[in-house]
Amino acid sequence: MKFFLDTANIKEIEEGVSWGCVDGVTTNPTLISKELVGKTDFKTLVKKILTIVEGPVSLEVTSITADGMVEEGKKLKKLGNNVVVKIPTTIEGLKALKVLKSLNIKTNATLVFSVNQALMVAKAGATYASPFVGRLDDISEDGMSLIEDIREAYDNYDFETKILVASVRHPIHVKEAALIGADVATMPFDVFKKLINHPKTEEGLKRFLEDWAKIDKSKLMF
């Protein structure tokens, strides 16, 4: 299972990559805009991210027409070989997915909320489908059950499209996604940090260090 960071913050990406557990990054216009205000420009920011991350980096189009999405996708792809063009799950988006597929440009179909949508974007040629589990939980639907259903549907027909679990709110989402067999989970940095934490690990380390402090260091072999 791949771990992606859902952020455009350079410090967060650099820190995550240093842990050896970050396989890629996803961004969206909201995340990008937070980093641009009074700080830098779009091209400089994106190129920096693409340099730090060896894996896929999803960059989202802002056009709402298929032609506009395709043109944006071509321009985004020129920024780096690891660019994945993020396309909305709409009728115009399906048209754009098909064209970008023919151009060998990798895509991420975003804002997926149903199995039917996941099937449609897979048939149109999306590299990734991004179901938003947290937003479904927000309206009293079970986001993770959608991941289970998409996994079953994709396995039934051997679709190559990868399931990228998005709108991850907490470590339990990551755990459940892994147990279901999702291909990727993308998450904010604060959720990513929580994956490694456990109170028993901290408790055990504290005990080991306290016991070690009692040893006469002069008798050590090294």
Strands (E), the chain: 2-6, 24-26, 57-60, 83-88, 107-112, 128-131, 162-165, 184-187
Whose tokens are 């995550």? That residue is: 16
Q: Is 98 a catalytic residue?
A: no
Task: Report which residue type is found at 141.
Answer: E
User: How crowded is residue 23: how many other Cβ atoms within 10 Å of its Cβ?
Assistant: 17
d(CA 177, CA 172): 8
d(CA 185, CA 154): 17
d(CA 59, CA 64): 15
Helix (H, G, I), strand (E, B) or coil at 149: helix
Among 2, 39, 86, 101, the one annotated catalytic:
86
> Distances in Å between the alpha carbon of 157 and those of 1, 26, 85, 105, 151?
20, 27, 24, 23, 10
Distance of CA 69 to the CA centre of its chain: 21
Q: Tell me the catalytic residues.
A: 86
